[in-house]
Amino acid sequence: MQLNLNNKVAVITGGSRGLGLAIAQVYARAGAKVVIASRSRQSVDSALQILAAAGAQATGLACDVADLAQVEALAAHAIDTFGRIDIWVNNAGLSSPYGPTAHIPARTVTSVINTNILGTYNGSMVAMRYFIPQGSGKLINLLGRGDTGSIKYQNAYSSSKVWVRNFTKTLASEYLSSGIEVIGFNPGLVLTDMLSQVHAVAGYEEKVNVVRYVAALWGNEAEVPAQKALWLASSATDGKSGLMTTVLTPGFMLKRLFTTGFKMLLRLPVEMMDLNISSVEPVMALVPVVAEEIIDPRA
Ligand SMILES: NC(=O)c1ccc[n+]([C@@H]2O[C@H](COP(=O)([O-])OP(=O)(O)OC[C@H]3O[C@@H](n4cnc5c(N)ncnc54)[C@H](OP(=O)(O)O)[C@@H]3O)[C@@H](O)[C@H]2O)c1
């Protein structure tokens, strides 16, 4: 079945690059009018040029999702421009440096909390307060690595996603008969800046190198999860509020293990992403740690 979003208006936070921009492109191709936002006006303008060149009906605003007034202004801009909102994707996200929690500068953790937790809360509240009187709407919150457990050396990020998952499930259960679908979406490993431009506490850089192999095994171009986000925003999920879904299904992972993993085993050429690791000075002297694998994409 061909999915379409004809006459729908979709707001995508963090829509200026990476997965958010891919979602905006896929939604626009499916007939939606799209509204994108991120902190950088320049990067919103570049994304709008890309969208316009592809014939999309798109507008955008500089908006820090951590600031409720800016998120309210984003919703007002969507309504002023396109008359309504049908889909809201809380996609804006930040990762924190890899490393032991007490050694990571507090300001980096605070920005993760402000964007991933407060930003998702702000976006959800603004969307719900518009969707409830309308009696319809799709709210899609981006989950991420560690959303069902605890991840060593990525505590702030993974804990923020645990919060997003729980918050999204609870919100869905409270508004089950409202006509609104509230959905959690883990896009798996996506080949974006978040995966390839990483920060690590000095001394932990080597441990992060494994990300290149994990990304080669299970990573996807952003178009792949964006297509799934189209399915989530479409009428295919009507009545499915509370759905928590991921791209990293056991079937997908096994298939990649047997294809790409097999090539790696035979030392055949496999495409590897470039990984740029910037060092962050620890706030106190490091203590010796047991060397261990830090990446389990399913965790
Ligand atoms: N990449 C992965 O492997 C992966 C895996 C699982 C989940 N996810 C989730 O998927 C989502 C998108 O990730 P991505 O890989 O596309 O990341 P990305 O390439 O780093 O892009 C992040 C986007 O969010 C915007 N942003 C960051 N902080 C913001 C804020 N406070 N307010 C508004 N916009 C903000 C950025 O633009 P500005 O810098 O201009 O603000 C950018 O447009 C995130 O929620 C992430 O946690 C990603």
Summarize pLDDT for 271-287 with one digit per residue, the tens: 999 999 999 999 998 87
Domain assignment present for 165: yes
Q: Write down the pLDDT at residue 292.
A: 54
pLDDT for the residue numbered 291? 47
pLDDT score for 289: 59
Please, what is the average pLDDT of the chain? 95
Give residue 142's pLDDT band: very low, low, confident or very high (50, 70, 90).
very high
Query: What distance in Å separates the CA atoms of residue 282 and residue 135, rounded to the nearest whole number?
Result: 49
Q: Mean pLDDT, to the nearest integer, of 254-262?
A: 95
Q: What was the pLDDT predicted at 113?
A: 98
Residue 157 known to be catalytic: yes
Please indicate whether residue 193, judged by its CB atom, sits closer than 6 Å to ligand 1: yes
Which alpha helices (H) appear in the chain, and where do they start and end?
18-29, 41-53, 68-82, 106-112, 119-134, 155-174, 193-196, 205-208, 210-218, 223-233, 250-256, 262-265
CATH at 33: 3.40.50.720
> Of 153, 186, 93, which is closest to residue 295 (Cα–Cα)?
153
Residue 242 above 50 pLDDT? yes
Nearest CA owner, ligand 1 atom 21: 18
Which residue, judged by its Cα, is nearest atom 2 of ligand 1? 190
Catalytic pick among 157, 175, 204, 213: 157
Residue 215 belongs to some domain of the structure: no
- The CA 118 to ligand 1 mean position distance, Å, reads 14
* Residue 150 to residues 5, 187, 261, Cα–Cα distance (Å): 36, 18, 26
- Which residue has a Cα nearest atom 23 of ligand 1? 14
How far, in Å, from the CA of 84 to the mean position of ligand 1? Answer: 25
The answer to whether residues 195 and 189 touch, using CB atoms and an 8 Å cutoff, is yes
In a domain, 163, yes or no: yes
In a domain, 299, yes or no: no
DSSP 34-87: EEEEES-HHHHHHHHHHHHHTT--EEEEE--TT-HHHHHHHHHHHHHHHS---E
Protein residue whose Cα sits closest to atom 7 of ligand 1? 144
Separation of 115 CA from ligand 1 center, angstroms? 9
Ligand 1 center to residue 221 CA distance, Å?
14
Whether residue 157 is contained in a domain is answered as yes
| Domain range enclosing 21 | 9-190+221-247
Q: Report if residue 119 sits inside a domain.
A: yes
Higher-confidence residue of 290 and 87: namely 87
Closest CA to 256 of 3, 247, 131, 130: 247
Segment 56-71, tens digit of pLDDT = 999 999 999 999 999 9
In the chain, how many domains are there? 1
Domain membership of residue 202 (yes or no) is: no
Residue 252 lies in a domain: no
